[in-house]
A and B are shown apart, each in its own frame.
Chain A
Amino acid sequence: MKKILFSLIVLLNLLLASSFTNAAGADLEVNTPAISAIKSSMQARHSQLAAFYSSGAIGLTKDGLIAVKDASAVPLKDRGGLNSLVAAENADRNNLYKEIATANGHPEWQGEIQSTFAGRWIDKAQGGWWYQGASGWVKK
């Protein structure tokens, strides 16, 4: 009986220890060169995107990307440029989510990281910007 109790206690300790390790490593690694590169690319692009967010030409999607919401808010001649900006931004965002997942040794976290970001982008968006709610576009 003592042996049984002892092994249970050891197991409980292991359990606690593993949860502590988890808590100690509570920060995700986001400082790899790949992530920094994506970040600065997105940062540079944001100065071009900001006006489109405000005019409602583009909006934040619920899956952590962006999309053209109202192309008519942009002069015809600029629409091609807008589309390629959106495509480039989404490529960066997808890469960002993937890089964060792999940098932390869990490529399978990509989807969860993406949905975490989706909520945070919308939360941090400026008033007047558009985002995808449960039933369509919403102005913040």
Chain B
Amino acid sequence: MKKWMLALPIAFILSACVTINIYFPAAAAEKAADKIIDDVWQLKNGEKPNVKTVEPKTAEPAAEPATVESKPAEPAK
């Protein structure tokens, strides 16, 4: 008697499976776009070269004290 009742959730779940598999991966696409744009425009890590944002000169002091060796003092090339 309940066979048809069972068919409903199954149909629903199956359609959900299909939907998920063909769903456009928006986050992955953004990531891919960022990577390509950085390459084409030669941006480093997504920085906008012309825009002066907050300069992190005093690099987060909250870094793990264990990494003493990697001091933020960057030697000029």
Contact = CB atoms under 8 A, between A and B. Distances in A.
Interface of A: 4, 7-8, 11-12, 14-15, 18-19, 22, 26-28, 30, 35, 39, 42-43, 46, 96, 100, 106, 109, 112-113, 116-117, 120-121, 124-128
B16 A42 contact: no
Interface residues of B, number: 37
Given A30-B32, A42-B40, 12 more contacts: A11-B14, A12-B13, A14-B17, A27-B31, A43-B42, A46-B42, A117-B36, A117-B37, A120-B37, A127-B48, A127-B50, A127-B51
A100 B23 contact: no
Contacts of B40: 39, 42-43, 46
A52 B10 CA distance: 57
16 contacts: A7-B10, A12-B13, A14-B17, A22-B25, A26-B25, A27-B28, A27-B32, A28-B31, A35-B36, A43-B40, A106-B22, A112-B26, A116-B29, A117-B37, A127-B48, A128-B50
A70 to B, nearest CB: 19
A39 B39 contact: yes
Interface of B: 2, 6, 9-10, 13-14, 16-17, 20-43, 46, 48-51
Contacts of A22: 20-21, 23, 25
A109 B22 CA distance: 10
